[in-house]
């Protein structure tokens, strides 16, 4: 959600911090700030709104210094104004802190500190940390941070600087991602590798309970007992080009158009044509172990939850293993029936979603084996799961998930193939799936080549206030996903429903102003969905249909049609979701919405 970047080295810090913050802006962006050691002390500049406003402030009054920290904020405690923006400073002004996460005992600590004479000037929980570190400070910054953190309950990723113990950054993690970037005579801290990718690809990920003490010449990783920990250096192989827009108007559009490649990347080297199965090196499960599970639970949030629903149908249809899909936020607080004969699949683009991570830990605690289907390499879910499948979709910057969704479904297909072929899926049927999968990149490209047709449809509906999305079978989750895409970036109210459920309530909403998007390719439930189209038309609803061939049964019943290539039913969600992504995108752009950074949303939801 919020983003952290820090720099210590020979270069002037502020341009590096601003550059890092801009790359993090997609994570959370209601305000931003930096604190830099200016030679005399810690100087802090903060501003509400976009990074560009902070940049303008700094341009008019530059700070000269080579050690600093920066932050983009997504408000949790207190409104997104300049006062509440990070960094927050201690009462004596010697310490500055940036923080992601939530301090749960902030009120108790605040009362205690007020009793000792500290005055609070912001509505944030983070200010508590700054004063607490001052209270504990005795000349060595990391010692003070350790002492303070022993008193803190909740989640945090923090970076701290001090004008007394200067030329170093102390960073600590519990529940909110942080890493150290290793350069030549310079070091970085960041909550997300994209902030520092322009400068280094060598990183050390912090785990919960770990701290980094970073200066120009090196770094130490310690725990909260000050015991040194030795950590592996990871190499990041993402390109800078992948986190830039590369000529597209928005990251979201770029990411939609990348899907022929990203879907291919997810499959690359993993399909075994001769055996009609897949090879997944990261599962860390023998075939015997894979066959030993009684049931599968898939847990995720948002778009990843929609891909989980598709996974449920895939696994049950092809591998015949019972699957349950759970919202991670609900799973963690229920008493789910999960034990050592359960395989828990956790799906997350970021690998950092707080609810999903907590659900995975809960499943592990109950004895389940966990598999992460994750995009961000080295993310917490990727590291803590017992095994997994990286989707290899590359960095997804647009807040609305697009390419990660299609790649998640491909990863689920790969997993299903593997499991189903170990069970009783025939070679011929397996081969049909493999061949269908191999055709997907080209078929997605055919859809993208006709994006203009979707743009024309968007023009017709850009002023609508509500949308209904309907689908059946494999395409019900596609309807949910289409509705989510539209609402999150265009702010139009949209609902996704199984098409037949419409007559149990939503049909009351249909009139001549209501656009209804039917995901109705020619599949095994096509005849059923035809009746639902007729029901909408009989009530003068305006029908937009995603079809896959000329359908006499729909003649005169569709106002706007977009045809996608034909494929197997179980592959259809991958193709059908692409025009819906485009529809949401074009409508949002036409309404003047900020497509890549929709209001109130953040890319990675690292608070509960
Ligand atoms: O990183 P994750 O896949 O765990 O994120 C889950 C959701 O927060 C995410 O899919 C969210 O719903 C997106 N904004 C959807 O476009």
DSSP notation for 336-386: ----TTEEEEEEESSS--HHHHHHHHHHHHTT-EEEEEESSTT-HHHHHSS
What are the residues whose beta carbons fall under 8 Å from the beta carbon of 455, sequence distance 6 or more? Answer: 582, 586
What is the model's pLDDT at position 470?
97
Asked whether 479 and 470 are in contact (CB, 8 A), the reply is yes
Tokens representing 229 are 């920990």
Q: What is the mean pLDDT of residues 95-122?
A: 95
Pick the atom of ligand 1 nearest to 400's CA.
16
Indicate the CATH number of 451-590 among 3.40.1400.10, 3.20.20.100, 3.40.50.10490, 2.60.120.10.
3.40.50.10490
Q: What is the separation, in whole angstroms, between the first and last Cα of the chain?
A: 11
Count, residues in the chain: 608
Angle at 53 (CA atoms; ends 48, 57), nearest 5 degrees: 105
- Say how far apart CA 277 and CA 12 lie, in whole Å: 53
Segments of 240-313 assigned E as strands: 271-272, 277-278, 295-300
Other beta carbons within 10 Å of 521:
28
Element (H, E) at 266: helix 259-267
Do residues 421 and 319 make contact, with C-beta atoms less than 8 angstroms apart?
no
The residue to which tokens 């960095």 are assigned:
395
Residue 35 has pLDDT above 70, yes or no: yes
Provide the residue ranges of all domains of the chain, joining segments of one domain with +: 3-236, 251-444, 451-590
Region 474-482 average pLDDT: 98
Specify the pLDDT at position 425: 97
- Which of 401, 409, 594 has most ligand 1 atoms within 8 Å of its beta carbon, as the pocket-test mutant? 401
Distance 304 CA to ligand 1 centre (A): 6
For the segment 492-497, the average pLDDT, to the nearest whole number, is: 96
For every residue of 144-159, DSSP letters joined together read HHHHHHTT--B-EEEE
How remote is the C-alpha of 580 from its chain's centroid?
A: 19
- Cα distances (Å, whole numbers) of residue 34 to 16, 51, 73: 11, 11, 11
3-state SS assignment for residue 318: helix
In whole angstroms, what is the distance from residue 262 CA to residue 135 CA?
A: 50
**Catalytic site residues?**
2, 603
Domain 3-236 has CATH 3.60.20.10: yes
Neighbours of 134 (CB within 10 A): 21
In tens, the pLDDT along 530-562 reads: 999 999 999 999 999 999 999 999 999 999 999
pLDDT in tens, 512-536: 999 999 999 999 888 889 999 999 9
Residue 317 phi, psi dihedral angles, 5° rounding: -70, -45
- Ligand 1 binding residues, C-beta < 6 A: 301-304, 348-350, 353, 356, 399-401, 484, 488, 601, 604-605
As a CATH number, domain 251-444 is 3.40.50.10490
CA 112 to chain centre: 37
- pLDDT at residue number 28: 60
Q: At 391, list the tokens.
A: 């989707």
- Cβ atoms of residues 484 and 496 within 8 Å: yes
Best CA proximity match to 95, nearest among 193, 164, 39: 164
pLDDT digits (tens, 9 = 90+) for 346-364: 999 999 999 999 999 999 9
Contact 355, 332 (CB under 8 A): yes
* Residues of the chain above pLDDT 90, percent: 83
By C-alpha distance, which of 605, 134, 182 is closest to 357? 605
Residue 32, H or E segment: strand 31-37
pLDDT, position 21: 94
Assess whether the region 3-236 and the region 251-444 belong to the same CATH fold. no
Helix (H) or strand (E) holding 58: helix 51-60
Average pLDDT over residues 423-429: 96
What 3-state class would DSSP assign to 432? helix
Residue 608 has which token pair?
A: 């509960």
pLDDT recorded at residue 27: 67
Nearest residue to 454 via CA among 581, 593, 566, 572: 581
Q: What is the DSSP letter of 447?
A: H
**Of 501, 497, 502, 464, residue with least CA distance to 483:** 497
Task: For 161, list phi and psi in degrees, rounded to 5.
Answer: -130, 160
Mutate to test the pocket of ligand 1, among 252, 483, 605 (most ligand atoms within 8 A of CB): 605
Higher pLDDT residue, 1 or 183? Answer: 183
Q: Quick one: what percent of the chain has pLDDT higher than 70?
A: 99
Question: Is 607's pLDDT higher than 80?
Answer: no
Token pair 């020619």: residue: 522
Mean pLDDT, residues 425-439: 97
What are 96's two structure tokens? Answer: 């500055």
Residue 601 CA, closest ligand 1 atom number: 14
CA of 439 to the centre of ligand 1 (A): 27
CA of 603 to the centre of ligand 1 (A): 7
């Amino acid at each position: 959600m919020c983003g952290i970047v820090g720099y210590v080295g020979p270069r002037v810090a502020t341009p590096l911090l601003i550059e890092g913050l801009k790359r993090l802006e997609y994570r959370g962006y209601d305000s931003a700030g930096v604190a830099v050691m200016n030679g005399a002390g810690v100087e802090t500049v903060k501003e509400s709104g976009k990074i560009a406003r902070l940049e303008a402030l700094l341009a008019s009054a530059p700070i000269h210094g080579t050690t600093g920290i920066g932050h983009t904020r997504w408000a949790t405690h207190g409104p997104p104004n300049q006062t509440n923006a990070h960094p927050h400073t201690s009462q004596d002004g010697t310490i500055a802190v940036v923080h992601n996460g939530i301090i749960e005992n902030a009120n108790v600590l605040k009362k205690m500190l007020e009793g000792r004479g500290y005055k609070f000037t912001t509505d944030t929980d983070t200010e508590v940390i700054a004063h607490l570190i001052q209270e504990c400070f005795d000349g060595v910054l990391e010692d003070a941070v350790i002492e303070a953190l022993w008193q803190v309950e909740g989640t945090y990723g923090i970076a701290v600087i001090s004008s007394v113990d200067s030329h170093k950054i102390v960073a600590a993690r519990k529940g909110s991602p942080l890493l150290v970037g290793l350069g030549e005579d310079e070091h970085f801290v960041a909550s997300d590798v994209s902030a520092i990718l322009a400068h280094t690809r060598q990183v050390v990920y912090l785990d919960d309970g770990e701290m980094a003490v970073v200066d120009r010449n090196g770094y130490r990783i310690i725990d909260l007992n000050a015991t040194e920990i030795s950590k592996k250096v990871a190499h990041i192989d993402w390109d800078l080009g992948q986190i830039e827009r590369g000529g597209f108007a928005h990251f979201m559009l770029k990411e939609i158009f990348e899907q022929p490649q990203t879907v291919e990347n997810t499959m690359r080297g993993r399909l075994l044509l001769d055996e009609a199965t897949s090879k997944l090196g990261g599962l860390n499960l023998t075939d015997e172990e894979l066959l030993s599970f009684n049931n599968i639970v898939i847990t995720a949030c948002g778009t990843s939850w929609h891909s989980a629903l598709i996974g449920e149908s895939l696994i049950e249809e092809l591998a015949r293993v019972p699957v349950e899909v759970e919202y991670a936020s609900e799973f963690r607080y229920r008493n789910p029936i999960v034990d050592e004969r359960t395989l828990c699949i956790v799906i997350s683009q970021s690998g950092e979603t707080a609810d999903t991570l907590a659900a995975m830990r809960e499943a592990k605690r109950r004895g389940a084996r966990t598999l992460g289907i994750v995009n961000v390499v080295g993310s917490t879910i990727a590291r803590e799961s017992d095994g997994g499948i990286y989707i290899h979709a590359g960095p997804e910057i647009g807040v609305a998930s697009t390419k990660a969704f299609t790649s998640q479904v491909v990863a689920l297909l790969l997993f299903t193939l593997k499991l189903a072929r170990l069970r009783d899926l025939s070679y011929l049927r397996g081969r049909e799936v493999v061949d269908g999968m191999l055709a997907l990149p080209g078929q997605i490209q055919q859809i993208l080549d006709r994006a203009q047709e979707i743009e024309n449809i968007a023009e017709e509906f850009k002023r609508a206030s509500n949308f209904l999305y309907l689908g059946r079978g494999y395409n019900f989750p596609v309807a949910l996903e289409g509705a989510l895409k539209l609402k999150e970036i265009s702010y139009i109210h949209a609902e996704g429903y199984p098409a037949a459920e419409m007559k149990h309530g939503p049909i009351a909403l249909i009139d001549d102003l209501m656009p209804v998007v039917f995901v109705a390719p020619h599949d095994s439930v096509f005849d059923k969905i035809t009746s639902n189209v007729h029901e909408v038309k009989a009530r003068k609803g305006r029908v937009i249909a995603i079809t896959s061939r000329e359908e006499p049964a729909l003649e005169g019943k569709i106002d706007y049609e977009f045809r996608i290539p034909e494929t197997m039913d179980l592959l259809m969600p991958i193709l059908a979701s692409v025009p819906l992504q485009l529809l949401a995108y074009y409508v949002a752009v036409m309404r003047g919405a900020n497509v890549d950074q929709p209001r109130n949303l953040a890319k990675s939801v690292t608070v509960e």
